[in-house]
Amino acid sequence: MRAHHRFYRWAQAHPGRVDALAALGLLVFLSAPYALGFRPRELVFSALVIVPLAWRRTRPVASGAAVAAACLIEVVFGSQPVIAQALALATVYSLAAYGPRWASLAGLGAGLFGGLLFVLRYFFLPMTASAYLSTGEAGVRVPVQLVGAVAIGAVVLVAWTLGDLARARRLAVQALEERARRLEVEREQERGLAAADERSRIAREMHDIVAHSLSVIITQADGARYAAVHDPSIAGSVLGTISETGRGSLREMRRLLGVLRGDGAVATRPLPTLEDVPALLDAVRRSGLVVAFAADGTPRRALPVGAELTAYRIVQESLTNVLKHAGPKASASVLERWTPRGLELLIADDGRGAAADPAPGDGQGLRGMAERVALYDGSVDARPLAGGGFLVRAFIPYTEA
């Protein structure tokens, strides 16, 4: 980084030190002639005007008031102008740039009034009535006092205008910095929300994979334990079902973990869709549950891949709940109905309904269904049936893009 860039950044970071050094330099430069000439009055006045400039940005109102008071005293009691009086323009600029709005306008008014007093004190009173300037061929005479008042007023107005422009630029920079800060905060919030959403998605996937697979495995293992007593040959087919279910669950777990690791080869494996529902039903039937399947209607157009995965998971979770809670000798039915608005899924069973499992659960499965369907503006209704059993109704509308 270049030296002037480093100095600029340091000056922006330490405005108080910069003003203090500038005030010290001005005090040494402007007071030296009075100190060498043994003129204590001018020396004291110069110090009264210059020293408050060290706080022109940190305390602009107090600094401006001190400079204005010193200049007023000098104009009233001084016999001739002092160089430091020109620094009143720096005070007008500072009030316009760093002070509140009322102080900015008050500084402009004080500057114009002080300029008028300066002209009256040093130009009008010492001069006679012959102090005129002739202009034009007609010989129009303009008083020197008027020329001086207009000139000083114009200089004061220019100083205030420059300060007001600096104020507008400073406020614009602050607004941009605040906007950048808000954007950074919003970006962090979006990252947190994205992470929370991803955690919820992973939790739903883990629940669907693990709960379904373990339910099938447990059901098969319990059935094999009792059936093997009467027919040992059935143990082989049951163990085969358990092995196949475990391998399928392991494949799903590897795919999910591949997504987390960023493994492209694993993460890009096809996700389950509606075409995989018959295979899911076959796996459930091998666990001993009687499942009937029916399809009604034809799709107006294909659902998004994520919506088909949602439909698959709803059927999977519903049948898993039947295996876990419906009790022995229960049967289930799955209806896939296409309507003009979208896909409707009806999964019902004739088991024990809501009173199936005496142990309290946390409802992760039903909550996961609702979260999945909500992503596609759908709805889920899960309730026990009056005559026994349980019904899950899910609707996934077409995505109108």
pTM for the model: 0.47
pLDDT along the chain (401 residues), means of 10: 71 75 80 76 81 85 86 75 79 88 87 82 58 49 68 87 90 88 83 74 67 68 66 67 69 64 52 85 83 90 84 87 80 91 91 55 71 86 86 86 42
* Residues 186-207 pLDDT 10s: 888 777 777 777 777 676 666 6
- What are the E-state strand segments in 251-297? 290-296
| DSSP per-residue string spanning 25-87 | HHHHHHHHHHHHTT-HHHHHHHHHHHGGGGGTTTSHHHHHHHHHHHHHHHHHH-SS--GGGGG
CATH number of 274-401: 3.30.565.10
CB 71 within 8 Å of CB 88 = yes
Distances (CA, A) of 214 to 76, 201, 317, 324, 338: 98, 20, 12, 10, 31
Predicted pLDDT of residue 399 = 72
What the block records as the tokens of 185 is 């905060």
What residue spans define the domains of the chain?
Answer: 3-186, 274-401
What the block records as the tokens of 238 is 């049951």
| DSSP per-residue string spanning 210-263 | HHHHHHHHHHHHHHHHHHHHH-TTHHHHHHHHHHHHHHHHHHHHHHHHHHHHT-
Nearest to 348 by CA among 279, 294, 272: 294
CB 99 within 8 Å of CB 85 = no
Predicted pLDDT of residue 130 = 44
CB 101 within 8 Å of CB 138 = no
Apex CA 296: angle with CA 294 and CA 302, to 5°? 110
* Residues 59-72 pLDDT 10s: 888 888 888 888 88
Predicted pLDDT of residue 92 = 87
CA distance 71 to 258: 77
Max Cα-Cα span within the chain:
138
Q: For the sheet containing 390-397, what is the strand order?
A: 290-296, 331-338, 342-349, 390-397, 379-384
Predicted pLDDT of residue 129 = 44
Predicted pLDDT of residue 359 = 45
